[in-house]
Amino acid sequence: MTALLTIIIVLFIAVAIWQMVKIFDLAQVSTDTSHSGIATDYDNKINGYLMMGFLVFIYAITIISFVKWGDLPLVSNAASEHGSEIDNLMLISMAVIFTVQIITQFLLHWFAFKYRGEKGKKALFFADNNTLEAIWTIIPVIVLAGLIIYGLFTWTSIMNVDEDADPMIVEIYGQQFNWTARYAGQDNVLGMANVRLIDIDKANVLGIDEADPNAQDDIVVKELHLVVGKPVLFEIRSQDVLHSVYMPHFRAQMNSVPGMITKFGFTPSITTKEMRETPDMIDKVNNINNIRAEKSKELMAKGEGALDPYEFHFLLLCNKICGKSHYNMQMNIIVETQEEYDAWIKEQKTFKESLK
């Protein structure tokens, strides 16, 4: 609160000084027309050329950015079957945005240069032009309607999970500041749960109904394991505040809302091991570990421990600012073969076995 009050006071002081400077400038108005603030033809010419120079600058920055960072890794490494649909929607949207930006920025800067103020020149203007207004209204309507309709069809195809395909049922439970996963067990049916049933003394941290037969074989874990090629349907709950389940590589995000269950489903298309072996990921991991190695030298020189080497994992993150440790609210996701998953799940305790 003290910091907020300090910022407000500094802001008020800055506004007061700005107003005082304006008053001082008005009080110092000179009768000399050379300093009257009226732009001359020379001023307008300079500003016109500066506008064209800035146009060249923003085009150059755009080209350099595409050349240096244009591989767009965030739209080329989808790890779910629907991920390519999301990526296509993003690429189409970006193509439309860049096309419009290139055209409008050129017209904006060219008109500022071409029709800059000159002594004796009178501007020609139209009070209205129905043809032009129809063009710049209809074209955006068509383009935006196309994007929205395409987006709706994409979203519908993603959200309509085919439950006849017998998807794996997994609950994602969010609380400040960690995630917990609950597998439905052999019956693939989650037991009933309610936050009012949470019993820390018995290690029932999710409020699972101990009397529900479907809950007895549920499995509660702190690391999410998925089977490549097998559909999974997430049922999402929150214990306290609004969180957001965000799995960027799977192009999946859904809010975790207190008092209700939200759902999202997808099918993983690549294992964690396979993703680690892609050239882009190898380069990323090597780059991160080089940075960590340099940082470790500094830490060890101070008598502190070295940083652990980085290893890639798919992550489940929180994409809502839910409190002071929001940044660290994450869970590892392991995508593996059916055989590897079966071996892992056999090692986990059921809910009934985990109760104290």
Q: What is the total residue count of the chain?
A: 356
pLDDT digits (tens, 9 = 90+) for 161-171: 777 778 999 99
Give CA angle at 6 (5, 12), nearest 5°.
90
Is residue 31 scored above 80 in pLDDT? no
Q: Which CATH class is domain 164-275+308-354?
A: mainly beta
Domain with CATH 2.60.40.420 in the chain: 164-275+308-354
pLDDT band at 121 (very low <50, low <70, confident <90, very high): confident
> Measuring CA to CA, which residue among 354, 341, 67, 343 is closest to residue 226?
341
Is residue 184 scored above 60 in pLDDT? yes
First to last CA, the chain: 43
pLDDT band at 28 (very low <50, low <70, confident <90, very high): low
Mean pLDDT of the chain: 87
Q: Is the model more confident about 311 or about 77?
A: 311
Q: What is the mean pLDDT of residues 198-221?
A: 87
Phi/psi at 18 (nearest 5 deg)?
-60, -45
pLDDT digits (tens, 9 = 90+) for 139-160: 999 999 999 999 898 888 888 8
Range with the largest mean pLDDT of 6-20, 118-132, 223-237: 223-237
Is residue 32 scored above 70 in pLDDT? no
In the block, which residue shows the tokens 């000159």? 118
This prediction's pTM: 0.75
